[in-house]
Amino acid sequence: MHTQTEKLANPSRTIETIKKYGFSFQKRYGQNFLIEPRVPEKIVRSAGIGPDDCVVEIGPGIGTLTQYLAEAAGEVIAVEIDRQLIPILKETLEGYPNVTVLNQDILKTDLVRIAREHNGGKPLKVVANLPYYITTPILMELLEGDAPIDTITVMVQKEVAQRMQAGPGTKDYGALSLAVQYYASAQIVANVPPNCFLPRPDVASAVIHLDLRERPALAEADEKKLFALIRASFGQRRKTLVNSLKNAAGLSYTKEEIQAALAHMGLPENIRGEMLTLEQFAQLTGELEKH
């Protein structure tokens, strides 16, 4: 087993490793490596990882967080898109036989198969320090996909984390908040300042932990219609719900139908989308379908 001092989670070891391999940061992959050991410790703790768990790590980078995951988990599957990091990971994870590195794009990775082959089909735990530019597509793929996933613990831009756990009537509340809350319960477990990374990002980060529901919050709702309605409702925040929905592409409700549905729910007709809860959106979808 590696000793604590050999861990990568400090600036000098990180810089030394990068220099040794002549690694250059790829802007297109949004790479920022952790250099503060308390952060990976906190992530592993918040994710509740134990020896029975199979963890999928997205974007291991040079393996900083992977080392901590490997010590806590039964098995770690690290999915890294950047080919130039593969030889580095081979070296930094050499002492951890329970880690498998896949040089793949997570959006094209078959997680159902990984669960089957590495975890007897049981749910995986997903952990990631997500690149900011692609956070939402990756999260939505994990939430909406067929893969058995138990929890997702991810480092994201702080304002994205706030959006994910925001409630109605707040400035952060939007389509992402509703999508996340439909599939999971979300909790911010740590705030991470820019100086914990190399290179230092321009924004603060946060670790958010999602506990996936066994079935969606409103299992009986028509998911496609519900989310089409939600997206349209937040398309232009300043507009009332009636105005947002009546002109929305892909929806075919008249102004009168929307007004009637809101009235039936006891809601004022000048209400904005940001005031409705997930349950109210589902109810509104149902009401509009009746018409």
Report pLDDT digits (tens) over 231-257: 999 988 789 999 999 988 888 899 999
Contacts of 79 (CB under 8 A, 6+ apart): 56, 57, 58, 59, 60, 102, 104, 106, 109
* Least confident span in 27-31, 174-178, 199-203: 27-31
- Per DSSP, the three-state class of 139 is helix
**Confidence grade of residue 31 (pLDDT, cut at 50, 70, 90):** confident
Q: What is the pLDDT of residues 89-110, one digit of tens each?
A: 999 999 999 999 999 999 999 9
**Confidence grade of residue 277 (pLDDT, cut at 50, 70, 90):** very high
- The whole-number pLDDT of residue 132 equals 82
| Segment 145-165 mean pLDDT | 95
Residues of each domain in the chain carrying CATH 1.10.8.100:
223-290
- The whole-number pLDDT of residue 110 equals 97
Contacts of 138 (CB under 8 A, 6+ apart): 58, 106, 107, 128, 130
User: From the CB of residue 268, how many other CB atoms can be counted at a distance below 10 Å?
Assistant: 10
| Segment 167-187 mean pLDDT | 94
| Cβ atoms 83, 105 nearer than 8 A | no
Fold (topology level) of 4-212? Rossmann fold (3.40.50)
Report the share of the chain in percent with pLDDT over 90: 80
- The whole-number pLDDT of residue 30 equals 78
Report the share of the chain in percent with pLDDT over 70: 98
| Segment 65-78 mean pLDDT | 98
Q: Which CATH number fits domain 223-290: 3.40.190.10, 1.10.4030.10, 1.10.8.100, 1.10.10.10?
A: 1.10.8.100
The rounded distance, in Å, linking the Cα atoms of 105 and 82 is 9
- The whole-number pLDDT of residue 235 equals 85
Specify the pTM: 0.90
**Confidence grade of residue 66 (pLDDT, cut at 50, 70, 90):** very high
Residues of each domain in the chain carrying CATH 3.40.50.150:
4-212
**What is the pLDDT of the chain when averaged over all its residues?**
92
Whether residue 1 has pLDDT greater than 70: no
Using a 10 angstrom Cβ sphere, with 0-12 exposed, 13-18 middle and 19 or more buried, the burial of residue 13 is: middle
